[in-house]
Chain A
Amino acid sequence: MSKYMVNLKINNTAIQVEEGTSILDAAKLLNFKIPTLCNHPDLSVAGNCRVCVVEVKGARLLAASCATPVSEGMEVNTNSEKVRIARKHIIELLLSEHNVDCTKCFKNGHCELQELASEYRFGDHIFIDLVKDRDKLRDISSPSISRDASKCIRCQRCVRTCDELQSVSALAVINKGDHQTISTFLNKPLNDVVCTNCGQCINRCPTGALYERNYMEEVWNAIYDPNKFVVVETAPATRVALGEDLGIDTGKRVTGKMVSALRKMGFNKVLDTDFTADLTIMEEGTELLTRLKRAIVDKDETVKLPLMTSCSPGWVKFQEHMYPELIDNLSSCKSPQQMFGALAKTYYADKINIKAENMVVVSIMPCTAKKFECNRSEMRDSGFKDVDYVLTTRELAMMIKQAGIEFDKLEDESYDSILGESTGAAVIFGTTGGVMEAALRTAYEIITGHEVPFTNLNIQPVRGMEGVKEASIKIKNTLPDWNFLEGVELKVAVAHGLANAKQLMEVVKSGKATYHFIEVMGCPGGCIGGGGQPIPTSAEIRKRRAEAIYAEDMGKTIRKSHENPEVVEVYKEYLTNPLGHKSHELLHTHYKVRKRY
């Protein structure tokens, strides 16, 4: 259907836009900024904060510009006297309901309400302070996400995020009027409900009502402790986003500066989760081939296919709650973070002659669910807590600032060795489709002895931001060991964001799917859009981060996990072979069925 064009005037400037465009978006095209709070580019339109009201000539009411489509001949004023008075009232009302505790707030400097308040420079508050029980409204039960209802402005972005993007609905609106609030099921602690800890709500909360449980002090204390040997690992997606919180443009890679900053902060060794991402490919790729062999050659009907990735702890917990019947389809591989921790406190500790009990493993993650994951009781295979503390990209940026490091002036530095080497295949773990692409690069070559038949190894069908992607590769000219796969069309699917994952799981559950391998990342865009990444987020921002990831991949000399020399070395020296005895002990795990209520 072709779009009609509509003519209107905004602040006396004529403009023509497509029918259906909101006044807000039309105003943006003319560079008139209308403030918003409940509006978010990733979410449906709510129109409930009313900060974006504008005056439409001839209308009795002001119009919420985010929710009002343009119409022919409309004359809009975005800054009339009525609008300004209403907007000031609305901001002041919100402040009267908000625990204005800015200097102590985790979101200080990143709060959209604070920004609006500072634009309008209110003197005294007109209205009466309505915040009750300001200290009783905190929920710090979750190791990942903290809530402070006294800061909540009821914009419902978190509710829409949890429902629309993640189809989890751990947060919902309850009650009405002055008792209306955002709540978990039966107002239980966040840690006791279906929350997957993905942190997408944090990324979209305009205030400090939702924030990560932070472990900055614990990490500083470990660094200062002379008896501790503090090892840090960095996830693939942090290096393409950290700069955003430190004054560097979106989409700029800061790998070398990040390494340098971590060293200056006092970490004893700066290592890379990418190393264990490569290792994951070895283990998970072998697991896939083993399951295929059991299914095709042994005709074993108990084998669970499709195999599903398990790197994303938000996705894993989602599966444990929502699809317990598919729990055995999850790869038994731990996530790269946890593989790293388990190896660091065993193999690596031995190598560098440090006692595991004196080693502290800190990971820098784009993720809040990783904080939960490192606390899972299964994650102690080294005999200790494999990963001690997880910091988000945002926490790391804060610590860099606290340390007085001028980030943009840092020289690039390289990771320490060993456990610091990685390939392009590992880097792309950070974006949706990346694990799949990395796995295919390796698996195809193991099976056939040839590289995957895609230009520059870039498997385009699994790339991009479509919610659910499908691809297939016909396997030809297999090596003798893999003859049973000759002519097989390997079918894969990729989903990112749990709402898309749910859609895919419903297909799998219905039995109509013929996939062999499925990659799911809990967050929109994969880890680059993770719940621990710099705020704000949008499709455009995630796209730029993804481009940076692929650029990092292209810049690597080695781009296939099985060619990572340190990975080859660790098998030779310690693990022997993928899915071997040691691997099982340290690198694999199991899952538990969790209730939904």
Chain B
Amino acid sequence: MEQKPLKKIDIIFGWDDKCTPIQVVEKTIKKTAENIILDMIDSGLKGRGGAGFPTGLKWKFCRNEDSDIKYVICNADEGEPGTFKDREILDKVPEKIFAGMTICGYVIGAREGYIYIRGEYNFMLKTLQQKIDLFNQQLHDLKVDFRVYLRSGSGAYVCGEESALFESMEGKRGEPRNKPPYPTVAGYNSKPTVINNVETLVYTSEICRMGPEQFKALGTSDSRGSKVFSVSGDTPIAGIYELELGMPLKDFVEEFGDGDSKAIQVGGASGHCVPRKKFNDTIIGFEGIPTGGSMMIFNSSRSMYNVLHDYLEFFTEESCGQCTPCRIGCQQLLKGIEAVKKGERPPTYLDDLKRLTATMKIAAKCGLGQSVANPFTSIVDNFREEIIY
């Protein structure tokens, strides 16, 4: 499998005084929307929130919708445990987000863009709003018919799910919707909407700044470009790092581990747990294990039962509760491993629970319930003895 060695990159947080974000907007909107979409598709950029949908296609679908009102939404509801990169982007280079949103608005024909920011980040609302006001003024001066607005969530993990986010923005309970219709057809206020992750939007403006060639020179054929990682856990150098995609997990562990890493949880609580024996043949990217950026490192002092238990407690609490597989399934998984641990259920009960996660994976209404199977099966399969004894 194609792979790249670990390489630190400086695109996201870099600053080009000769081509600031507003200047990127000014320069880009001289092109046709079609050409911008072609650049996006050419760059190979896929969504950085975790699901990895090709950004250029998303914009194209939305552009093709016939509607007077469309929206661009920046998903800044960064709630995945172990992810904290969007916070840094919002703090350090928010103008790049606004630029990406404006360009998207130009492409799809939207006049309004909203940043939906998680409730826990309310401390930055004031400074962010000041920067938005300034940027909006610049857009006004450039006679660009697009404005950026800020909306705050209330702390529900599920509101990071795009359709639950729309519900929340509309003032309703944050509950995922049935799909179809997809956001590009009927999103916020049931209007065609592009919703992109914070980091994705920054990359779109960076691709417009530097051209798609430079971006796609990085990474592998399935995973173009670089990505910002939130590194935490048993590491001496926890923090935020932009790395080229396609690296083997082995490289990552050598760089960030403490020499005693036994497992890496790739992609946060809803991601996959990779044990030491699979470090060598695991690629970080869409061809291997994709991630929204969370990399949690566990060394041998950690109980994987406790890790799984924490995740399941998290999902039990953060399920919106509307669909059966997720609401009750999460509770059963949590109670189930407790019962096995206490000896109230036989070890083979873990297999019943794995079958339940297989149902959750295909029958839950949204990505939340569907992804609980990831940590459950990867931890149970690789650390079964820790769960039982």
Binding site for B on A (CB under 8 A): 45-51, 53, 60-62, 64, 67-69, 82, 85-86, 89-90, 93-94, 96-97, 126-128, 130, 153-154, 156, 173, 175-180
Contact = CB atoms under 8 A, between A and B. Distances in A.
B322 interface: yes
Contacts of B363: 50, 53, 61-62, 86, 89-90
A61 B179 CA distance: 11
A49 B336 contact: no
Interface stretch (B107-115, B256-264, B298-306, B352-360): B352-360
A94 B158 CA distance: 22
Contact of B328 (A82, A130, A173): A130
A60 B371 CA distance: 13
Given A68-B180, A86-B359, A97-B328, 5 more contacts: A85-B359, A86-B362, A127-B332, A176-B318, A177-B319
Contacts of A64: 178, 365
B339 interface: yes
Contact of B325 (A50, A68, A153): A50
A90 B325 contact: yes
Given A178-B316, A180-B327, A68 B178 contact: yes
A69 B178 CA distance: 11
The 3 closest A-B pairs by CB, nearest first: A180-B321, A67-B178, A93-B328
Contact of B356 (A62, A89, A176): A89
Contacts of B226: none
Contact of A177 (B321, B324, B358): B321
Nearest to B339: A128
- Among B158, B325, B328, B358: residue with most chain A CB under 10 A: B328
A96 B316 contact: no
A68 B182 CA distance: 12
Interface in B348-389: 352, 355-356, 358-359, 362-365, 370
Which of B180, B327, B352 has most A Cβ within 10 Å?
Answer: B327
Contact of A85 (B317, B320, B331, B355): B355
A45 B179 CA distance: 12
Contacts of A97: 327-328, 331
Interface residues of B, number: 35
Interface of B: 156, 158, 173, 178, 180, 315-325, 327-332, 335-336, 339, 352, 355-356, 358-359, 362-365, 370
A48 B322 contact: yes
B323 A48 contact: yes
A51 B324 contact: yes
16 contacts: A48-B323, A50-B323, A50-B363, A64-B178, A89-B325, A90-B363, A93-B325, A130-B328, A173-B173, A175-B321, A176-B156, A176-B321, A177-B317, A177-B327, A178-B317, A180-B322
Contact of B331 (A67, A82, A130, A154): A130
Contacts of A51: 324
B324 A176 contact: no
A533 B286 CA distance: 57
Contacts of B322: 46, 48, 154, 156, 173, 180
A130 B335 contact: yes
A462 to B, nearest CB: 35
Contacts of A89: 325, 329, 355-356, 359, 363
Contacts of B173: 173
A82 B180 contact: no
Contacts of B332: 93, 96, 127-128, 130
Contacts of B320: 176-177, 180
A404 B323 CA distance: 42
B320 to A, nearest CB: 5
Contacts of A153: 324
Residue of B180, B317, B358, B359 contacting most chain A CB atoms (<10 Å): B359
B348 to A, nearest CB: 12
Contacts of B352: 126
A384 to B, nearest CB: 47
A62 B360 CA distance: 10
Contacts of A179: 317, 321
Contacts of B324: 48-51, 90, 93-94, 153-154
Contacts of B316: 177-178
Contacts of A45: 178
A128 B325 CA distance: 14
A513 B363 CA distance: 50
Nearest to B327: A180
Nearest to A67: B178
A179 B329 CA distance: 14
A146 B364 CA distance: 31
B119 to A, nearest CB: 14
A176 B317 contact: yes
B339 A176 contact: no
Contact of B321 (A49, A62, A96, A173): A173
A162 B38 CA distance: 49
A153 B322 CA distance: 10
A470 B308 CA distance: 62
Contacts of B358: 85
A51 to B, nearest CB: 7
Contact of B319 (A50, A60, A176): A176
A554 B329 CA distance: 56
Contacts of B330: 177-178
Contacts of A48: 322-324, 365
Contacts of B336: 127-128
Contacts of B180: 68-69
Nearest to A129: B335
A176 B362 CA distance: 21
Contacts of A53: 362-363
Contacts of A62: 362-363
B178 A50 contact: no
B377 to A, nearest CB: 15
Nearest to B345: A128
A178 B321 CA distance: 7
Contacts of B156: 176
Given A50-B325, A176-B319, A177-B319, A82 B178 contact: no
A154 B364 CA distance: 15
A64 B323 CA distance: 11
A290 to B, nearest CB: 46
A290 B327 CA distance: 59
A93 B315 CA distance: 16
B65 to A, nearest CB: 17
Nearest to B334: A178
A50 B327 contact: no
A46 B352 CA distance: 28
Contacts of A61: 362-363, 370
Nearest to B180: A69
Contacts of A126: 352
A177 B332 CA distance: 12
A130 B332 CA distance: 8
Interface hub of B158, B178, B315, B370 (most chain A Cβ within 10 A): B178
B354 to A, nearest CB: 12
Nearest to B369: A50
A96 B325 CA distance: 12
B329 to A, nearest CB: 6
Nearest to A180: B321
B177 to A, nearest CB: 9
Contacts of A156: 322
Contacts of B318: 176-177
B360 to A, nearest CB: 8
B178 A154 contact: no
A178 B178 contact: no
Contacts of B328: 93-94, 96-97, 127, 130
Contacts of B317: 176-179
Contacts of A178: 316-317, 319, 321, 327, 330-331
Contacts of B339: 128
Nearest to A90: B324
A300 B339 CA distance: 77
A86 B358 CA distance: 8
